[in-house]
Amino acid sequence: MNQPKFFVTPGYGEYMLNELHYSQAVKIGDRVETSGQGGWDDDLQIPESLADEIAQAFRNVERTLATAGASWEDVVHINSYHVGGLPPEVNEVMVKLYSLRLENRLFEHSSAINGTI
């Protein structure tokens, strides 16, 4: 059986490891799973604009995947969690960013809004 290898995203991931005791990604064999990625920067600041926050979250996913030797090309499933409802802007921005990174490939997606699926 393959042993898990844990990865820490440089910057904010180091804080998460040191203060919260978890890594941003784990790799077992050729499978990579990431922990939740928010729209924060390396100083854990979140942009004021919702669109900018979502774009930062996508960049954080990309950075974390790269740390574990993966990329958006390897993504087959995405969970997304939304607090406070789902304004139309969220879907608009996410569809745009998915199409840029996944090049219109199909993938499995599940969402939870305010804790419900």
Q: What is the pLDDT of residues 35-92, one digit of tens each?
A: 888 899 999 999 999 999 999 999 999 999 999 999 999 988 888 877 777 788 888 8
The strand order across the sheet containing 31-34 reads 5-7, 25-28, 31-34
Domain residues for 49? 5-113
pTM of the predicted model as reported, rounded to 2 decimal places: 0.85
Residue 35: exposure state from Cβ atoms within 10 A (0-12, 13-18, ≥19): middle
Per-residue pLDDT, averaged over 9-28, amounts to: 93
Helix (H) or strand (E) holding 88: helix 88-102
| pLDDT, tens digit (0-9, with 9 covering 90-100), for 1-10 | 789 999 999 9
Query: Into how many domains does the chain fold?
Result: 1
**What CATH number did the domain enclosing 60 receive?**
3.30.1330.40
Is residue 116 a contact partner of residue 82, using CB atoms and an 8 Å limit?
A: no
